[in-house]
Structure 1
Amino acid sequence: MAIPQGDVPKHWNYFLMLENDLIQIARYVEFHADNFNTYSLELSRLLVSACGEVDAIMKQICEPLVDNFPNNPNIECYRKIVSEKLPSFASREVSIRRFGLSLTPWENWKGDNPRTPCWWKGHTGIKHSRHEDFKAGNLKNVLNAMGALYIALACFYSRNQQEHRLVPVPALYFPKSFYQGEGTKAGQVWYKFYRFS
């Protein structure tokens, strides 16, 4: 008989599943800038899946932050809310240390001329016109979409004071400062860096 342990962090488990799928791709395609334009059906699937989850999480992050939250929010709606209420969000950086990569997937939201992230545009292209935008399902967009999801999840769970439940830790994605000491427990260094108040 199973022992009930309360609600399982479903979004976190989904992220770990997607990350595991991404790790399998690394057996065939090196995660390196030389291969960022590599595209495939599997990369397209991962991009659409990761962005669908980004949408779901961003809605849950943004809805409690404002009155009169729209019924059908979009990425621009999320940008406006997050830029005002969580200004450090777009600056968060992730590291894929195993491959020597550092990503700032939300950086297009920063500055005086904010834009939709390229990985999100790629997702939209594949979703609505796959026959024309199939190459948007590429390694660079997938790595950034997964990084964006990771940051959004860190924000969501820390704002709900549930980061201690996020185990196991990811195999690829970590805050850039994660390897600068202090150990590897999910509730320690990891979310000290990603804490969103």
Structure 2
Amino acid sequence: MANNKKLKFFIKNYWNYYLRLEEEFLTALKYVEFDRDNYQTFSIEFLTVLLSVCSEIDVVGKVIANDFNKNFIPEKKDNTIYKWWYEIQNFLLLSDKVVNFRDIETIKPWYNFQIEQATNKKGNKYLRLEKSSNSKIPKWWNNYNSIKHNRTSLDVTKEKTNFKNANLKNLSQAFAGLYILEKSFIEKIATKEELKLIKKSSLFEKEAVTTRRVESECFTISEEEVI
């Protein structure tokens, strides 16, 4: 790893911070059991960690986009998730990747999220969700933005404040999203021997796409569990 400057820089500045965020989440899980019955449990602690995780997703996504395309400038204020995702989606194939949360739950956080370039009537190019695949932005990401920008506003569709979106379900999906983003990039720039030296995630196993699974939003459950 000593000779791989890019990897060393990424581990020091991004992966180590990810592991620190994991520690905060694991502390919170001492008081809230990870169980589907607790998915809607929300708290100030979950709110704090969720904002940090999703903010880091945006930071890391821009850094990776710049690595793949030097014309992409991370500091530009108009670089939304659409823009950096468009740069990295074909290199890392994140929408296909699945992780196991502590051998309890299987999560596919970026499922069916694809961006395409289109042209409007004036001939100007813009980015949009891919129409052919009926692509959707992850629900947990939209929930994060609702908290970030309108924390105490009422979600009239569910008659609850956006603060309640700082729950266990959204936080675990966001962690899966950040883990897949960083780990996929690390695997692109590291050798097999270097990968053995990197401290592992305490939350997730190695990505393993499984067969015969039924998609349910960002989570998946095996067919035999479906009633």
Which of these two proteins has the greater Rg computed from alpha carbons?
Answer: 2
Equivalent residue for 1:147, pick from 172, 176, 185: 176
Distance 2:135 2:111 in 1: 9
Q: Is the 8 A contact 1:36 1:140 kept in 2?
A: yes
Alpha-carbon deviation of 1:96?
1.4
Equivalent residue for 1:12, pick from 12, 15, 30: 15
Equivalent residue for 2:113, pick from 99, 109, 115: 109
Distance 2:208 2:136 in 1: 26
Equivalent residue for 1:160, pick from 189, 202, 207: 189
Alpha-carbon deviation of 1:167?
3.1
Does residue 86 in structure 1 map to residue 91 in structure 2?
yes
Q: Is the 8 A contact 1:105 1:148 kept in 2?
A: yes
Secondary structure at the residue paired with 1:102?
strand
Equivalent residue for 1:33, pick from 9, 26, 36: 36
Structure 2 residue aligned with 1:95: 100
**Which amino acid letter does the alignment assign opposite residue 164 of structure 1?**
L
For residues 167 and 161 of structure 1, do their structure 2 counterparts lie closer, same or farther at Cα, with a shift above 3 Å needed? closer
Distance 2:171 2:149 in 1: 17
Structure 2 residue aligned with 1:185: none
Q: Is the 8 A contact 2:101 2:204 kept in 1?
A: yes
For residues 40-189 of structure 1, the aligned pairs below 5 Å read: 40-66=43-69, 68-69=71-72, 71-72=76-77, 73-83=79-89, 85-86=90-91, 88-98=93-103, 100-109=104-113, 112-132=133-153, 133-161=162-190, 164=195, 167-177=198-208
**Which amino acid letter does the alignment assign opposite residue 113 of structure 1?**
N
Structure 1 residue aligned with 2:123: none
**Which amino acid letter does the alignment assign opposite residue 94 of structure 1?**
V
Gaps of 5+ in 2: 1-7, 115-131, 154-161, 210-227
**Which amino acid letter does the alignment assign opposite residue 114 of structure 1?**
S
Secondary structure at the residue paired with 1:30?
coil
Gaps of 5+ in 1: 1-5, 179-197
CA offset digits 1:149-174 (Å, max 9, x no partner)? 11111122223327538632121112
Which structure features the higher share of strand residues? 2
Distance 2:97 2:199 in 1: 21
CA offset digits 1:39-77 (Å, max 9, x no partner)? 111111111100111111110111233364252311111
**Which amino acid letter does the alignment assign opposite residue 137 of structure 2?**
T
Structure 2-normalised TM-score? 0.67
For residues 161 and 103 of structure 1, do their structure 2 counterparts lie closer, same or farther at Cα, with a shift above 3 Å needed? same
**Which amino acid letter does the alignment assign opposite residue 89 of structure 1?**
L
Q: Is the 8 A contact 2:61 2:85 kept in 1?
A: no
Secondary structure at the residue paired with 1:109?
coil
Tell me how large the CA RMSD over aligned residues is: 2.3
Q: Is the 8 A contact 2:50 2:166 kept in 1?
A: yes
